[in-house]
A and B are shown apart, each in its own frame.
Chain A
């Protein structure tokens, strides 16, 4: 069975149920029940019209629940209202679904879970496995999220920025489980880009594609982290890079710059360099300046200091770093790197070891520990 096809049908089916008068939370439950049944039944008995099958089964599940829950009159009203089957889900349905699942009243983790289920068509179990929590916990998280947004009315367009932040979280902070969350985030962003014409949606899609292109080279065979400068660029996916660059250029041409476009531009400049030594750091610094004008985030300032160090020398990088709060995540790691480039391996080794203790993920901790070890061996 083609799971990707099955999942791509879910938001449309949900849209149809909601348009038929089902409330969002009940419709979403019904579609999830139908999805679970499809996964069970389709391998032996594939339907001729998968979407029609899902609509019929979801609607029946919804009615079964409604029948059990509410008075007969309500159900009959709904039956009367049932439109002839067949109308294709519209782009507006899809958009409204994205906005609802990323609604600002939700916490980030709830918005992520609801988006993956209602828009992505993943089962609760898959989402629970992806985020390493028990299925019952994930079920409650999703069900609370649905209750929160069930009564939200969409009489005016939502802020696409909220949706983009959720999709970025799925992409960037995804755990590696059975489901490929990075690929899932790309799929959902592609679909959003098809439903709405917005340069920042393109910017995020380009950013994801450009980073995804480097995926194979980011991890050593032993699972260790390979930094950008040491990656085997021959293993970068040139198809994804070309697509990302093309999408980004079309977005930039519209002259409505946003933070995702600027981030994608930086990724594109890295992708464009045949070797790490040929990276156009001067232009990268300029993009960080743009990014700072757009966001003024301390993390951007930190990354800018790295770029300044590469463009104008480690002393300039350290000067840029000195203006920042040293409690920032990765501050010490950046300081270690710049001190090493400045020809001070003893300080660098000490800072790498300190950075390793402060790391928030294992891959980074091990990488920083190895950096410290490498310099300490040389010192002996």
Chain B
């Protein structure tokens, strides 16, 4: 029983095998891709392993504290930022192997030509609760 984050990147991940930007796919290929993603999430709900899935807009700002009584400073977006998160899925599974298996399946979502994208996904374990018995 452990939670994992499957992270999808706009930028920053190694290039996928089927590396064609989405705007160059056919509309049907885009629909097939979306359907694969939502079917995948629905299937994980059925297996009792789904926790959350969200997509992020590519645009964002950087914000920081600028001292007492002053409004926060905002900056960006920075086009040169190397790493850009596109979205995530959170799963709750029995083993690390299962998390890897599911990430592999998610990466097989179809892209251009209806072929799997082979997109690189980042798999990150959540911190767990601390166990009671440690000695």
Residue numbers of A with Cβ under 8 A of B are 107-110, 112-113, 131-134, 136-138, 140-142, 144-145, 169, 171-176, 182, 207, 211-212, 215, 218, 225, 228, 263, 266-267, 270, 303, 306, 330, 359-365
Which residues of A sit under 8 angstroms from B73, Cβ to Cβ?
none
Interface contact A211-B133, CB-CB below 8 Å: yes
Which residues of B sit under 8 angstroms from A132, Cβ to Cβ?
3, 51, 92
Interface contact B1-A364, CB-CB below 8 Å: no
Interface contact A176-B129, CB-CB below 8 Å: yes
With A131-B1, A142-B48, A228-B135 in contact, is A109–B92 under 8 Å at CB? yes
Interface contact B135-A306, CB-CB below 8 Å: yes
Which residues of A sit under 8 angstroms from B92, Cβ to Cβ?
109, 131-133, 137
With A137-B49, A144-B47, A360-B125 in contact, is A173–B131 under 8 Å at CB? yes
Q: Nearest B residue to A333 by beta-carbon distance? A: B134
Interface contact A361-B128, CB-CB below 8 Å: yes
Interface contact A110-B129, CB-CB below 8 Å: no
Give the complex CA separation of A233 and B45 in angstroms.
Answer: 45
Interface contact B94-A360, CB-CB below 8 Å: no
- For residue B62, CB closer than 8 A to chain A, the reply is no
A-B pairs with the 5 shortest C-beta distances? A141-B48, A363-B130, A361-B130, A109-B1, A140-B48
Q: Nearest B residue to A176 by beta-carbon distance? A: B129
Which residues of A sit under 8 angstroms from B125, Cβ to Cβ?
360
Pick from B47, B51, B127: contact of A361, CB below 8 A: B127
- For residue B40, CB closer than 8 A to chain A, the reply is no
Give the complex CA separation of A338 and B33 in angstroms.
Answer: 53
Pick from B44, B49, B94, B132: contact of A108, CB below 8 A: B94
Q: Nearest A residue to B50 by beta-carbon distance? A: A137
Chain B count of residues within 8 A CB distance of the other chain: 24
- For residue B46, CB closer than 8 A to chain A, the reply is yes
Q: Nearest A residue to B46 by beta-carbon distance? A: A140
Give the complex CA separation of A75 and B94 in angstroms.
Answer: 39
Give the complex CA separation of A273 and B134 in angstroms.
Answer: 18
A75 to chain B, nearest CB (A): 29
Give the complex CA separation of A225 and B130 in angstroms.
Answer: 9
Give the complex CA separation of A134 and B42 in angstroms.
Answer: 13
Interface contact A172-B132, CB-CB below 8 Å: yes
Interface majority SS on A: helix, strand, loop or mixed? helix
B13 to chain A, nearest CB (A): 23
With A133-B92, A138-B48 in contact, is A365–B135 under 8 Å at CB? no
Interface contact A172-B131, CB-CB below 8 Å: yes
Per-residue contact bits, chain B 92-106, to A (CB 8 Å; 1 contact, 0 not): 111000000000000
Tell me which residues from 1 to 17 in chain B have a Cβ below 8 Å from any Cβ of chain A.
1, 3
Give the complex CA separation of A169 and B92 in angstroms.
Answer: 15
Pick from A108, A145, A363: contact of B1, CB below 8 A: A108
Give the complex CA separation of A9 and B129 in angstroms.
Answer: 30
Listed residue (B50, B52, B125, B135) with the most chain A CB atoms within 10 angstroms of its CB: B135
Pick from A134, A173, A215, A267: contact of B51, CB below 8 A: A134
Give the complex CA separation of A361 and B93 in angstroms.
Answer: 17
Interface contact B129-A361, CB-CB below 8 Å: yes
Interface contact B45-A136, CB-CB below 8 Å: yes
Give the complex CA separation of A109 and B51 in angstroms.
Answer: 14
Interface contact A110-B127, CB-CB below 8 Å: no
A-B contact pairs, 22 of them (CB 8 A): A109-B93, A110-B48, A132-B3, A133-B48, A133-B50, A134-B51, A137-B49, A138-B48, A144-B47, A145-B48, A171-B132, A171-B133, A173-B128, A215-B132, A228-B135, A267-B133, A267-B135, A270-B135, A330-B134, A361-B127, A364-B130, A365-B127
Q: Nearest B residue to A359 by beta-carbon distance? A: B127
Listed residue (B44, B51, B52, B132) with the most chain A CB atoms within 10 angstroms of its CB: B132
Give the complex CA separation of A39 and B51 in angstroms.
Answer: 27
Which residues of A sit under 8 angstroms from B52, Cβ to Cβ?
134
Interface contact B45-A140, CB-CB below 8 Å: yes
A330 to chain B, nearest CB (A): 8
B67 to chain A, nearest CB (A): 27
Give the complex CA separation of A89 and B33 in angstroms.
Answer: 53
Pick from A107, A137, A211: contact of B132, CB below 8 A: A211
Tell me which residues from 108 to 135 in chain B have a Cβ below 8 Å from any Cβ of chain A.
125, 127-135
Which residues of B sit under 8 angstroms from A112, Cβ to Cβ?
1
Pick from A113, A175, A215, A267: contact of B129, CB below 8 A: A175
Interface contact A263-B129, CB-CB below 8 Å: no
Q: Besides A173-B1, A306-B135, 12 other CB < 8 A contacts?
A: A107-B94, A109-B94, A131-B1, A132-B51, A133-B50, A136-B50, A137-B44, A137-B92, A171-B133, A173-B128, A360-B125, A361-B130
Which residues of B sit under 8 angstroms from A133, Cβ to Cβ?
48, 50-51, 92
Which residues of A sit under 8 angstroms from B135, Cβ to Cβ?
228, 266-267, 270, 303, 306
